[in-house]
Chains A and B, each alone.
Chain A
Amino acid sequence: MAGHAAAATPSTEQLQKEVEELKAAVQLLRQELAASRPKPVVAGNPPLSAEHVTVAPQTPTPASTAPQGDYATKADIDGIRGDLENYKYEQTRNRETKTALTTRGTTIGGTVAVRASYFNPATTGSSTPGAKARETSFDIASAQLNLSGSLYRDYAEGRNLTYRLALAYAQNVNSGLTTTAQSSGSQLNLTDAYLDYSFFPTTTGLEEDRLTVRFGQQQIPFGLEAQTSEELRPVINNAQFVNALGVGTRQIGVVFRGDFDSYVDYGFNYRAPLIEYAFGVFNGNGPNKADDNSAKDFIGRLAFTLPVDYNSVFRELKLGVSYLKGTGNLTRTVGTTTTTVASNNFTRRGFDLYYNHNPYGITYEYADGETDTLAGATGSGKTTIKSRGQYVTLYYQWGEQFLRSYRGQAKYDDWWPKTYQAFLRYDLFDPNTAVGNDQVKVATLGLNVFFAETTKLQLNLLRTFYQDPSMKNSTAVLAQFQYGF
């Protein structure tokens, strides 16, 4: 047995030979495996000349759907499953404990403006009458917080019901009736509180007509400037007529807005509604108040946009007219008793022109008003005051802030097109056309620097000219950071 066993035992040389053969086989298998694996992604560049290009066979090499290279083991898959379960748990836990939840989908937004000002001559405006005039000051010019979202979302056709609630900080402004010091507190006023409903489908495309109704407290659709939100208005201060004629105040009521016969240029995603319209009815006595009479104010606006291609020089050339008719109360105060003695009928008419052809643009707006007021110190006799205002703004911008496609380009970082916008405005207002020497002209030279998605620095140099010789012309420099969130 021992001899037989000895004969069966391979010699060292034979074993060495077998080992070498096995090594060669392993090497061959390794090479075959390497050849069958997908090539790693090539770092750098493709071959530089045609000689390096390996011409593919004449018939296509069908891409096998069978897996190549390494296989995942059960342990690998269990590992991935474990990671997935951990991720799901973390998401659920974080949503429950670390996320602000709302009953309905809500977007929280707002804008804040912080301002530094210089006045010459010094001013006491918005301060306690007894206060010293100031040449320089710092202010929180505005702070608004808004919530908006969907109450009902029509996925199929986009006839959505949405809402908006907005609150605005208001500085304590002394009324001038008291000489007591201003309180350090501030007010938070409701500015917007409304529902919006789209009657027409909004998902079909740009060519569809639009019609929405807005019910609640809202900005009325008069002209251009009054309807432009803070973050889009180039000038820090409103045109004079906006506040003087009361077309910039919020009102409570219902407004229908829509457009029809849009000129659509899908090659640029450009939509120019031939006619835009808005009609509304509201209380007329301003925001956050109960109505003070049965009469309602009525407003209407029509705008016409030239139906041309995006690439036309007449792109975004729009003409608009607005009309507002309202009725208020005229009161007299005797002692501590205030009595309504007559109705105050008023009308506002406006015409506007808007031309925005990046990088330059122009806006012009004219508005006049007729307002009844009590004549004399007693009685209910009335007289009508006619007012008139207009402004023109020219602007030019360097940068892509207002180019939607470029602004929306794909980026990894928090990139935004830095943009500079220079503008010049000339604003004229005559509070009573029957009275001489009461016109006020304001010339504004400004620069807006958009240096982040929702943040801009605004620099305005204002020169105010008073027709009244008793008033001294004034200069103001305003520097304001406005940020949105």
Chain B
Amino acid sequence: MKRFLALLGAFIAFATVLPAAQAQEKPSVIRIAVPNAGTGGRPLTTGLLATLHQTGAFEEEFKKDGIQVKWVFFPSAGPGVNEAFANGLVDFSGHGDLPLIVGRATGLKHHIIASYGRGGNQYLVVPSDSPAKSLADLKGKRLAVFKGTAGQLTLNRVLSRAGFSEKDFKVVNMDNDTTKAALATKDIDGTISTAPFDLEARGVARILETYVDDPTLTSPNTFWVSEEFEKKYPQIVQRVVTRLYRTAAWAGDEKNRDAQFQIWAKAGSTPYIDFKRSWDGQLLKDRLSPLLDEYYVAAIKKAIGEAKDFKLTRREVPIEGWIETKYQEVALKELGLQTYWAAWPAGGKTNSTSTAAR
């Protein structure tokens, strides 16, 4: 009887410990969140995440291990990703600065392991018949922004630079599709957009001001992993990062410019021709840089301060221990890409210019 009980105890211990030990080795699924979606609620996106998704980069990486890669696209953007992550449904995700910072401020546990894009033009757009000649002419008027997303921080930077704050306008909350419709119906007086050319072509809106690739107005995108996943599967995290950097190198090759724009245009939010126009004169390698360089760290620090100053977050966000560069270092060395991307200084590389009404 004693032997039986000992065997039973050992079996239970084995049965309990073995699955746990196996779980440490590899997950059955990797869940990757994308903080946007294609028009009409299609599971598509743009940028480097789209290139990773549509070329099946991660799927190929983990095929031999039998690990499923599950992409989840959130039309509710960065705040939607935060909600899903708070409920334990996300392992990796892309994020713009504001929802990333607010999530961290409220206790979400993740580590920043890569970037996936930076810079780009911003446009202040108004209805086509708007009499406004500058941002100042819109004071007291209705500006649309998708609140809680990186777009809100960008809007606040634009307003702040001109000496205004959200209080000087009626800032209304709209997602990107609704904003386009509201410009057409003239229910808003302005918005900040990254590619308004389709609206311009339809005669719905016009560009009032253009902010050309200005690093003081934009902030790099962030790719993070949940601390829980990282703790369990650090080797998987390394493979994800290495694959991301490998794909980013391919994406940064000018030979692949048109191919990528075609991939991104499938999302429907920005037509192919608009990608050509808004990315004109900007190196893919710069725009799609995954580096966690001085510029990245400085930009996130700056965004944290701005989010607090603009009263978009209630708490301090400690940056210490948040950015984990060891995966980047291994990936660059393994791929022989140590010099492929130029590390930017804290202030950013691009000379920015803003143009007034065209």
Q: Does B157 contact A (CB under 8 A)?
A: no
Contact of B86 among A39, A57, A310 (CB under 8 A): A310
Most buried by B among A40, A265, A408: A265
Which of chain B's residues have a CB closer than 8 A to the CB of A358?
87
Which of B9-17, B227-235, B251-259 interfaces with chain A?
B251-259
Contact A267 B102 (CB under 8 A): yes
Q: How far is the CA of A311 from the CA of B42 in the complex (A)?
A: 28
Q: How far is the CA of A285 from the CA of B262 in the complex (A)?
A: 65
> What's the nearest-Cβ distance from chain B to residue A400, in Å?
7
Interface membership of chain B positions 322-358, coded 1 if the CB is closer than 8 angstroms to chain A and 0 otherwise: 0000000000000111001000000000000000000
Q: Does A74 contact B (CB under 8 A)?
A: no
Q: Does B103 contact A (CB under 8 A)?
A: yes
Q: Does B163 contact A (CB under 8 A)?
A: no
> What's the nearest-Cβ distance from chain A to residue B95, in Å?
10
Contact B56 A405 (CB under 8 A): no
Q: How many positions in chain B have a CB within 8 Å of any CB in the partner chain?
A: 77
Contact A410 B75 (CB under 8 A): yes
Which of B20-28, B114-122, B169-177, B200-208 interfaces with chain A?
B169-177
Q: Does B211 contact A (CB under 8 A)?
A: no
Across the two chains, which residue of chain B brings its CB closest to A406?
B84
Which of chain B's residues have a CB closer than 8 A to the CB of A269?
76, 79-80, 83, 148
> What's the nearest-Cβ distance from chain B to residue A94, in Å?
20
Across the two chains, which residue of chain B brings its CB closest to A38?
B258
Which of chain A's residues have a CB closer than 8 A to the CB of B81?
405
Which of chain A's residues have a CB closer than 8 A to the CB of B55?
42, 44-46
Contact of A409 among B72, B148, B282 (CB under 8 A): B72
Q: Does B142 contact A (CB under 8 A)?
A: yes
Which of B104-112, B131-139, B292-300 interfaces with chain A?
B104-112
Contact B106 A39 (CB under 8 A): no
Q: How far is the CA of A268 from the CA of B90 in the complex (A)?
A: 14
Task: List residues of A (23-73) whose CB comes within 8 Å of B's CBs.
Answer: 38-42, 44-51, 53-57, 60-63, 65
* With known contacts A205-B173, A266-B79, A406-B89, A54–B148 Cβ distance under 8 A: no
> What's the nearest-Cβ distance from chain A to residue B316, in Å?
14
Across the two chains, which residue of chain A brings its CB closest to B266?
A41
Q: Does B7 contact A (CB under 8 A)?
A: no
Contact B170 A38 (CB under 8 A): no
Which of chain B's residues have a CB closer than 8 A to the CB of A56?
252-255, 283-285
Q: How many positions in chain A have a CB within 8 Å of any CB in the partner chain?
A: 51
Which of chain A's residues have a CB closer than 8 A to the CB of B73?
409-410
Contact A60 B282 (CB under 8 A): yes
Across the two chains, which residue of chain A brings its CB closest to B336?
A50
Q: How far is the CA of A409 from the CA of B252 in the complex (A)?
A: 29
Contact A309 B107 (CB under 8 A): yes
Contact A204 B263 (CB under 8 A): no
Which of chain B's residues have a CB closer than 8 A to the CB of A289?
none
Contact A408 B75 (CB under 8 A): yes
Most buried by A among B43, B75, B83, B276: B83
Which of chain A's residues have a CB closer than 8 A to the CB of B336?
49-51
Contact B246 A406 (CB under 8 A): no
Task: List residues of A (156-211) whose CB comes within 8 Å of B's CBs.
Answer: 156, 203-206
Contact A39 B76 (CB under 8 A): no
Contact A46 B281 (CB under 8 A): no
Contact A41 B262 (CB under 8 A): yes
Q: How far is the CA of A359 from the CA of B88 in the complex (A)?
A: 11
Q: Does B74 contact A (CB under 8 A)?
A: yes
Q: How far is the CA of A53 from the CA of B252 in the complex (A)?
A: 9
Q: Does B3 contact A (CB under 8 A)?
A: no
Which of chain A's residues have a CB closer than 8 A to the CB of B251?
46
Contact of A53 among B185, B249, B312 (CB under 8 A): B249
Which of chain A's residues have a CB closer than 8 A to the CB of B172?
203-205
Contact B84 A266 (CB under 8 A): no
Which of chain A's residues have a CB closer than 8 A to the CB of B106?
265, 267-268, 309-312
Interface membership of chain B positions 40-68, coded 1 if the CB is closer than 8 angstroms to chain A and 0 otherwise: 01111000000100011100100000000
> What's the nearest-Cβ distance from chain B to residue A4, in Å?
56
Contact B340 A60 (CB under 8 A): no
Contact B256 A406 (CB under 8 A): no
Q: Does A485 contact B (CB under 8 A)?
A: no
Q: Does B270 contact A (CB under 8 A)?
A: no
Q: Does B247 contact A (CB under 8 A)?
A: yes
Across the two chains, which residue of chain B brings its CB closest to A46?
B250
Contact of A405 among B43, B83, B102, B247 (CB under 8 A): B83
* With known contacts A50-B337, A411-B43, A268–B79 Cβ distance under 8 A: yes
Contact B250 A405 (CB under 8 A): no
Which of chain A's residues have a CB closer than 8 A to the CB of B304?
none
Q: How far is the CA of A358 from the CA of B89 in the complex (A)?
A: 12
Q: Does B277 contact A (CB under 8 A)?
A: yes
Which of chain B's residues have a CB closer than 8 A to the CB of A410?
37-38, 41-44, 73-75
Contact A46 B282 (CB under 8 A): no
Contact B57 A404 (CB under 8 A): no
Which of chain A's residues have a CB closer than 8 A to the CB of B105?
267
Sample 18 A-B pairs with CB under 8 A, ordered by A number.
A38-B262, A39-B255, A41-B259, A53-B250, A56-B254, A56-B283, A203-B173, A205-B147, A206-B147, A267-B78, A267-B102, A268-B79, A268-B148, A311-B107, A403-B87, A406-B84, A408-B74, A408-B80
List the 3 closest A-B pairs by CB distance, nearest first: A267-B102, A46-B250, A405-B80
- Extra 11 A-B pairs, beta carbons < 8 Å, given A46-B55, A49-B246: A38-B262, A39-B258, A44-B60, A46-B256, A50-B340, A56-B285, A61-B257, A62-B281, A267-B105, A268-B103, A269-B83
List residues of B whose CB falls within 8 A of some A CB.
Answer: 37-38, 41-44, 51, 55-57, 60, 72-76, 78-84, 86-87, 89, 98-99, 101-103, 105-108, 142, 147-148, 152, 170-174, 182, 185, 187, 246-247, 249-259, 262-263, 276-277, 279-285, 312-313, 335-337, 340
List residues of A whose CB falls within 8 A of some B CB.
Answer: 38-42, 44-51, 53-57, 60-63, 65, 155-156, 203-206, 265-270, 309-312, 358-359, 400, 403-406, 408-412
